Structure 1
């Protein structure tokens, strides 16, 4: 099993950050560019991966009271992950994403994973900033 974790501070209240991250209709705005999620009957989703061209049955659960998203593959059980939003004071938050790959063949490698995680959290921060700026203005 290979595990990866990446965190990023966000300039907004944890509830605002979680609401943006958990918005099922806006997942493509911040997820890695190569992943596309089609929400079915929650928690069931289908994830399309551009790299392999495959559609994978998966689950995606939002736990608003814990400000946590959890996901994983349904049939193969080869991949899981979670996103946790925590308040860090002064109206800011920290978002941590953790990924676990149980099948070495599904692990794209450290550099690819960290590039994807960094890009995703950067895009999430941009989405949060736009939402907070629009609410304030």
Structure 2
């Protein structure tokens, strides 16, 4: 089993960050480019991975009262993850994202996993900034 975790500070209230991160219709805006999520009957979702062009049945749960999102594969149980948002005062938040790979064949390796997590957090911050700077948009 391999686990990877990254944290990033974002200049927004935790509720704003969580609402952006948990918006299923906008997950593609911050997830890695090769992953696409389609909502089914909650908490069920389908994750499409461009390479190797396959769909995977998954679950996605967002708990606003805990500022936490959890996800993972349904049938094969090959990976799981979570995102936690915490307020740190002064109108800022700390966002931590964690991935666990239970099968070596699904583990992309430390370098690739950490780069994907860093990129996803950067993209989430961009989405949050757009929302905060333009609340009507």
TM-score interval w.r.t. the shorter chain? over 0.9
The reply on whether 1:82 has 2:117 as its aligned counterpart is no
**RMSD value, Cα:** 0.9
Q: CA deviation at 1:37?
A: 0.3
Q: Structure 1: which 5+ runs fail to align? A: none
Q: How is 1:1-137 mapped onto 2 (pairs within 5 angstroms)?
A: 1-135=1-135
Count residues in correspondence.
136
List per-residue Cα deviations over 1:78-105 (Å, max 9, x = no partner): 1000000000110000100010000000
Per the TM alignment, residue 50 of structure 1 is displaced from its structure 2 partner at its CA by 1.2
TM-score for both structures, normalised by structure 2: 0.97
**What whole-Å deviation, never above 9, does each CA across 1:78-135 have from its counterpart, x for those lacking one?**
1000000000110000100010000000001111111111111001000000110013
Stretches of structure 2 that go unaligned for 5 or more consecutive residues are none
Runs of 4+ residues over 4 Å off in structure 1: none
How far, CA to CA, are the matches of 1:53 and 1:112 in structure 2?
Answer: 19
